[in-house]
Amino acid sequence: MRPQILFPLFADIDTLKGVGPRVRPALSKIAGPLVRDVAFTLPHNLVQRRRMTAASAIEGEVGVFEIQIDQHIPNRKPGQPYKVRGFDDTGWVHLVYFKTYGDSLLKSLPVGARRVISGKVERYGSEVQIPHPDYAVLPEKASDLPLIEAVYPAGGGLSSRQVRRFALEALAQTPALPEWQDPAWRARQGWSGWRDALEAAHHPQTMADLEPAAPARRRLAFDEMLAHQLALAQRKRARRRLAAPVITPGPLSAALEAALPFDLTGAQTRAVSEIRADLTSGARMGRLLQGDVGSGKTAVALLAMASAIDSGFQAALMAPTEILARQHHTNLAPLFADVGIDCVLLVGRDKGAARLRALSGLADGSTPVVVGTHALFQEAVTFANLGLAIVDEQHRFGVAQRNQLQAKAGSGEGGAHLLTMSATPIPRTLELTQYGDLDVSRLDEKPPGRQPITTSALPMDRMEAVLERLGQVIQTGAQAYWICPLVAENVEVDLASAEARAVALKARFGDRVGLVHGQMPGAEREGVMAAFAANELSLLVATTVVEVGVDVPNATIMIIEQAERFGLAQLHQLRGRVGRGSGKSACVLLYDPPLTQVAQARLEVVRSTEDGFLIAEQDWAMRGGGDPLGLRQAGLPAYRFADPVAHRDLLLAAADDARLQLARDPDFSSERGRALWVLGELFDWKPDRAERAD
Ligand code: ADP
Ligand code: MG
């Protein structure tokens, strides 16, 4: 239940003075529906005003002048400004208006009157001009005119100044709250109390006060991330308290492990034992297996499924596309068959008798393993005793599909264990914000014997040389990808150039050139991909659709056109499509010069390493504090105060703090626990804001 102390903050914004039916929608859009949301809307800029005279006016700064109005100079032609001339002891000051004319100005700035005006100074020849002054007040009201004014987000007809007024009123209604931070930690940071920090954030004195590094902003950011981490930690704890089947490896696991044509890497062995520990614990597993493309996640999944079957349960593996599901089935079914286990495939397109057979086998428990697409978790499918659900490339699934899966796997007592797998290595900080409620295993070691991929970056004018080399390699029977960018803002143009590229390559290399792109119907797309996988095509021109884990070991060349337009992680993923077989592989990053410094740095990172975790960390570091778009793409929660890049040190501390709290005082009954409860309620305990944002 929400603590009473928070009631004023959870009141509707229409309780703020001046917020009626007309203002409410605009304010709600800018801030949110609650007083809390308005109090949490911080200024993003600062106007600093300085007293000036006509003689001392500094161009580009915001000046405050006390002048006497001398003359109105109406514009002679449309498009010319209307001017009001004034003077002080040192010279003339011209107020310049482009859209306001005549009467209203004559009334507010009558000739002979004295006014204190403020605005950004421009010089036009020798003339001091103030275009559209932001204040023009009577001299006795000069104190109304703040020398430092915080600028708030505006919109929907609300000016920054109005929003500021509402924000300050919301702030006035904000109570001081019990201190939820560990006293020693807070002392070390030198932070003020929460209420004072919020107050300070609304009253910046210098530009530095607006920076993420400002102490008040850091404190607010830490509190927000702490609330989020507490929510994630609670969810993790709740899951661990759910009973789940006890699954122990037996003879089947041993036989399958022995049948693998390779020894597990150290990282695979570690992951397998972490998973086994979860499966035997009797508590519900919720684990993320993170590992770069080619790190060998499938073998880990296989052994986990084997344990489930050993203990008399069913296991299901779900992939995001039909082609991936088929590929998994092709790889896994023979291994299972060798030990006498039937592994069926279930994809959306299946119809008729085969589908019915698969469904009844799952329903009566006679089929122990199934591989499929999300068709697996649709209504018609029932499992006799599903013990383990595995989701490959889990980030490819939408929220709805993930929820369906969860429901099918059983959310109550006795539900299935869940293992999710991701081939997108992410930095620790991102892992904490996105998957703080999961346990994580990392495959940070590649299977032995992989040949390094030779990566080079070349400007577009080297295209002819690239084509010549490509022709030679194709002659020898190798296959190649040619990737063209396709971005949402630019679909038509990008599509046209991908198609044009395919036409040009066909003209040069003939029929064994195919094209796939995201706008094609799914079946057609998968048809082309399948033809490439079957080596009926030598060269596959593609927009980024090939990112989705297809495995064509014979493909050894990856050419990425306009590589400067791709993100680091994306380039790494794309490159991961080659270097999967025994042949020597190459990746060519073709770019359109001149490169920006950032683009150059990005290409250099990809060129210099194949370590996905390292690339992810670099990617993260290069984003700096800005790029909200990139952050959203990364699936970050919609924080109000925190910037997980700028505040990453605090994020790690908040995660540790939350973990400790749950271990020491899981019921939030100590004094600090009760204060933390208030913090959680203040932020609504929403661990899944990230999911709801997309
Ligand atoms: P991903 O992590 O991308 O799903 P896969 O599981 O598809 O990777 O494995 C990639 C390739 O590496 C497969 O051909 C697989 O057989 C092989 N592989 C996996 N583990 C090992 C290992 N320990 N030693 C040698 N090869 C391995
Ligand atoms: Mg895989």
Asked if residue 372 lies in contact with residue 397, where contact means CB atoms within 8 angstroms, the answer is: no
Helix axes 215-240, 428-435, angle to 10 degrees: 60
Q: How far is CA 202 from CA 137, 199, 221, 265, in A?
A: 25, 5, 14, 54
* Average pLDDT, integer, range 294-306: 94
Please state, in angstroms and rounded to a whole number, the distance separating the CA atoms of residues 98 and 324: 61
| 406-434 confidence digits (pLDDT tens) | 667 665 556 889 999 988 777 777 788 77
Task: Report how far ligand 2's centroid is from the alpha carbon of 48 (Å).
Answer: 56
Distance of CA 556 to the CA centre of its chain: 31
Cβ of 265 less than 6 Å from ligand 1: yes
DSSP states along 11-69: SBGGGSTT--TTTHHHHHHHT-SBHHHHHT----EEEEEEE--TTT--TTSEEEEEEEE
Alpha helices in 623-686 (DSSP H): 628-633, 648-664, 671-682
Domains along the chain? 1-44+152-175 (1.10.150), 47-151 (2.40.50.140), 177-238+647-694 (no CATH), 251-443 (3.40.50.300), 453-609 (3.40.50.300)
Q: What is the 3-state secondary structure (H, E, C) of 366-387?
A: CCCEEEECHHHHCCCCCCCCEE
Cβ of 296 less than 6 Å from ligand 1: yes
Distance of CA 584 to the CA centre of its chain: 34
Contacts of residue 443, defined as CB under 8 A and 6 or more positions apart, other chains included, come to: 265, 267, 268, 271, 289, 290, 291, 292, 295, 296, 297, 300
Kindly report the backbone phi and psi dihedral angles of residue 448, in degrees, each rounded to the nearest multiple of 5, phi listed first. Answer: -65, 160
Asked if residue 88 lies in contact with residue 68, where contact means CB atoms within 8 angstroms, the answer is: yes
Bridge partners (DSSP) listed for residue 423: none
pLDDT value of position 489:
72
Q: Determine the length of the chain.
A: 694
| 198-217 confidence digits (pLDDT tens) | 999 999 999 999 999 999 99
Question: For residue 443, which atom of ligand 1 is closest to its CA?
Answer: 2
Nearest CA owner, ligand 1 atom 5: 296
Q: How far is CA 380 from CA 254, 307, 386, 414, 415, in A?
A: 34, 26, 15, 21, 18
Give the closest residue to 640 by CA, choosing from 163, 227, 78.
Answer: 227
Q: What tokens appear for 170 in the block?
A: 């919301």
Give the closest residue to 430 by CA, choosing from 416, 440, 418.
Answer: 440
Task: Answer yes or no: is pLDDT of 188 > 60.
Answer: yes
pLDDT value of position 618:
82
The more confident residue out of 47 and 545 is 47
Task: Answer yes or no: is pLDDT of 385 > 60.
Answer: yes
Alpha helices in 173-214 (DSSP H): 183-189, 194-202
Kindly report the backbone phi and psi dihedral angles of residue 351, in degrees, each rounded to the nearest multiple of 5, phi listed first. Answer: -135, 170
Cβ of 264 less than 6 Å from ligand 1: yes
Q: What tokens appear for 105 in the block?
A: 């100005």
Torsion of CA 259, 263, 264, 265, to 10 degrees: -170
Number of neighbouring beta carbons within 10 Å of residue 682: 22
Number of neighbouring beta carbons within 10 Å of residue 503: 13
Tell me the best of 260, 262, 288, 574 to mutate to test the pocket of ligand 1, counting ligand atoms within 8 Å of each CB and taking the most.
262
Task: Report how far ligand 2's centroid is from the alpha carbon of 520 (Å).
Answer: 24
**Torsional sign, CA 407, 239, 182, 647:** negative
Q: Percentage of residues in the chain with pLDDT exceeding 70?
A: 92
Nearest CA owner, ligand 1 atom 22: 447
Alpha helices in 49-152 (DSSP H): 103-108
Task: Answer yes or no: is pLDDT of 583 > 80.
Answer: no
Task: Answer yes or no: is pLDDT of 400 > 80.
Answer: no
Task: Answer yes or no: is pLDDT of 694 > 60.
Answer: no
Task: Report how far ligand 1's centroid is from the alpha carbon of 582 (Å).
Answer: 12
Report which DSSP code applies to 562: T
Please state, in angstroms and rounded to a whole number, the distance separating the CA atoms of residues 521 and 502: 18
Nearest CA owner, ligand 1 atom 23: 264
| pTM for this model (two decimals) | 0.75
Q: What tokens appear for 354 in the block?
A: 């085969």
Cβ of 297 less than 6 Å from ligand 1: yes
pLDDT value of position 582:
75
pLDDT value of position 410:
63
Cβ of 612 less than 6 Å from ligand 1: no
From the number of C-beta atoms within 10 Å of its C-beta (0-12, 13-18, 19+), residue 73 rates as middle
The average confidence (pLDDT) of the chain is 88
Please state, in angstroms and rounded to a whole number, the distance separating the CA atoms of residues 175 and 179: 12
For 510: left if phi > 0, alpha if psi spans -120 to 50, otherwise beta; the answer is left
| 214-235 confidence digits (pLDDT tens) | 999 999 999 999 999 999 898 8
pLDDT value of position 398:
64
Please state, in angstroms and rounded to a whole number, the distance separating the CA atoms of residues 3 and 396: 39
Torsion of CA 560, 561, 563, 564, to 10 degrees: 180
Report which DSSP code applies to 395: G
Please state, in angstroms and rounded to a whole number, the distance separating the CA atoms of residues 3 and 5: 5
Q: Residues 608, 610, 613, CA angle at the centre, nearest 5°?
A: 110
| 617-674 confidence digits (pLDDT tens) | 788 777 654 443 344 444 556 789 998 778 888 999 999 999 999 999 999 999 999 9
Written as one letter, the residue type at 471 is G
pLDDT value of position 636:
56
Asked if residue 430 lies in contact with residue 343, where contact means CB atoms within 8 angstroms, the answer is: no
| 127-160 confidence digits (pLDDT tens) | 999 999 989 999 999 888 888 999 999 999 999 9
Task: Report how far ligand 1's centroid is from the alpha carbon of 298 (Å).
Answer: 7
Cβ of 298 less than 6 Å from ligand 1: yes
pLDDT value of position 537:
95
pLDDT value of position 519:
83
Report which DSSP code applies to 647: T
The more confident residue out of 433 and 6 is 6
Give the closest residue to 410 by CA, choosing from 440, 438, 382, 435.
Answer: 382
Task: Report how far ligand 1's centroid is from the alpha carbon of 450 (Å).
Answer: 10
Taking the CA of 445 as reference, the closest ligand is 1
